[in-house]
Amino acid sequence: MEEVRIGFIGCGGNANGHMNTLSSLEGTRIVSVCDLQEERAESAAERHQAVAYTDHQKMLERNDLDAIYLSLPVFAHGQPELAVIERGLPFLVEKPVAINLEIAQQVAEAVEQADLITCAGYQLRYLGSTQLTKRLLADQTVSMAMGKYWCGTGRGDPNAWIRRMDKSGGQLVEQATHTVDMMRYLMGEVAEVFSLQANRVLRDIDCPDSYTVTLQFESGAIGTLTTYWAFDNGDWSNANVIDILYQDQLINWNPSRLEVKEAGEVVSKTEPGPPIDQVFVDAVRRQDPSQILSPYADAVKSLAISLAANQSAKSGQIVPVG
Ligand SMILES: NC(=O)c1ccc[n+]([C@@H]2O[C@H](COP(=O)([O-])OP(=O)(O)OC[C@H]3O[C@@H](n4cnc5c(N)ncnc54)[C@H](O)[C@@H]3O)[C@@H](O)[C@H]2O)c1
């Protein structure tokens, strides 16, 4: 396959970012784009010389598609993925992969049966700061990790799907899933969680604005994650930050760098990493998923942690994950 021809289901803000990256990659072409909102599909089609659709089933009838991107509101996942799998196409799907585990597991089973290449949009795994941290911790006994995702996203339009619990699952499911996934990726699987949640500031939405989650990792390590949705809207410096304690040492990770002590001095390090779109397109072109760090089935495990935390907050109990 010389050229990888891509179709999009969902043409919102996130999809546009992927489209821009893809259009800069050699041997990649966006051939069709679909959105329920016709003007969004038409606008993306015009920018990328693609064909616009408002019905993904219709788009999937095209015979020139090599791969699909699904960038949808959380509640809209399920049927579109099953249609893509039925059509036998590899896909990249944005995180979180579904609003509940029933849908996610149904899609995961269909993916496995069809033996398709899949990639979830956990792009932080590919960053240099992440890969350096992963290598540094490979032979270490890690004791504890403390993550946080504090931002002001909760302060936007209260009627938007992202700020409705039944449509997005709230901050922990929709957004801080990145931090949950990074904690899993760097620390290993999570066995059980306990969560407290509150809404102290954003009284016009039904999502909590504050979460604390205590995590028991299968390794024996422990962790905490705090998330906050009513923070200063312009300040992202406390979003996706993790402190990891091992032996007598500390790693402070964020997407742009890690800080670690070397010869008594705290140094700041990173290295280049490939964009997730490059990794996915190369995997499709070579029919080789080995460089994909978050296939669909793996992403379901990150979703399960956030959902278990929401359940724990409701029941007041420690909840096993999965
Ligand atoms: N990886 C990241 O860092 C990152 C960043 C931002 C958003 N996201 C994720 O991307 C996804 C989309 O977020 P967004 O901000 O672009 O949302 P958005 O609301 O801007 O866009 C979603 C689009 O999907 C369309 N849509 C809904 N159902 C559809 C269907 N059945 N067929 C076709 N189109 C349909 C909507 O009309 C809308 O235009 C979310 O899962 C979000 O979590 C990921």
Domain ranges of the chain: 4-122+276-292, 124-273+304-320
Ligand 1 center to 98 CA (angstroms): 12
pLDDT for residue 129: 98
pLDDT for residue 322: 72
The three-point CA angle 191-100-179 to 5° equals: 55
157 — phi, psi (to 5°)? -50, 115
Nearest-angstrom CA–CA distance, 202 and 208? 8
**Which CATH architecture fits 4-122+276-292?**
3-Layer(aba) Sandwich (3.40)
Which long-range contacts (C-beta less than 8 Å, at least 24 apart) are formed by 285-289? 285/1, 285/4, 285/27, 287/117, 289/117, 289/118, 289/119
Q: Are 134 and 270 in contact (CB under 8 A)?
A: no
Ligand 1 center to 162 CA (angstroms): 10
Ligand 1 center to 297 CA (angstroms): 20
SS3 content of the chain, % helix, strand, coil (to 5): 40, 25, 35
Q: Does the Cβ of 79 fall within 6 Å of ligand 1?
A: no
CATH 3.30.460.10 fits 124-273+304-320, yes or no: no
Q: Which two tokens stand for residue 141?
A: 């006994």
Ligand 1 center to 175 CA (angstroms): 12
Q: Does the Cβ of 142 fall within 6 Å of ligand 1?
A: no
Helix axes 13-23, 38-48, angle to 10 degrees: 10
Q: Which two tokens stand for residue 239?
A: 């979003």
Ligand 1 center to 127 CA (angstroms): 22
Q: Are 119 and 276 in contact (CB under 8 A)?
A: yes
pLDDT for residue 273: 97
Nearest-angstrom CA–CA distance, 54 and 48? 16
Q: Does the Cβ of 97 fall within 6 Å of ligand 1?
A: no
Contact partners, residue 77, CB within 8 Å, separation at least 6: 70, 93, 97, 98, 99, 103, 104, 107
Q: Does the Cβ of 127 fall within 6 Å of ligand 1?
A: no
Q: Does the Cβ of 78 fall within 6 Å of ligand 1?
A: no
Strands (E), 89-141: 91-93, 118-120
Question: β-pairing, 67-70 with 91-93?
Answer: parallel
pLDDT for residue 197: 98
Ligand 1, atom nearest to 177 Cα:
43
Nearest-angstrom CA–CA distance, 195 and 319? 9
Mean pLDDT by 10 residues, the chain (322 residues): 93 98 97 98 98 98 98 98 98 98 98 98 98 96 98 97 98 98 98 98 97 98 98 97 97 98 94 97 98 98 98 98 84
pLDDT for residue 1: 67
Ligand 1 center to 82 CA (angstroms): 17
Contact partners, residue 314, CB within 8 Å, separation at least 6: none
Q: Which residues in 79-107 are b (16+ Cβ under 10 Å) and which e?
A: ebbebbbebebbbbbbbbbbbebebbeeb
74 — phi, psi (to 5°)? -55, -40
Ligand 1, atom nearest to 55 Cα:
32
Burial (CB count within 10 angstroms: exposed 0-12, middle 13-18, buried 19+), residue 203: exposed
Q: Does the Cβ of 34 fall within 6 Å of ligand 1?
A: yes
Q: Which among 8, 9, 35, 276 is the best mutation to test ligand 1's pocket, defined by most ligand atoms within 8 Å of the CB?
A: 35
- 96: cis peptide before it, omega within 30°? yes
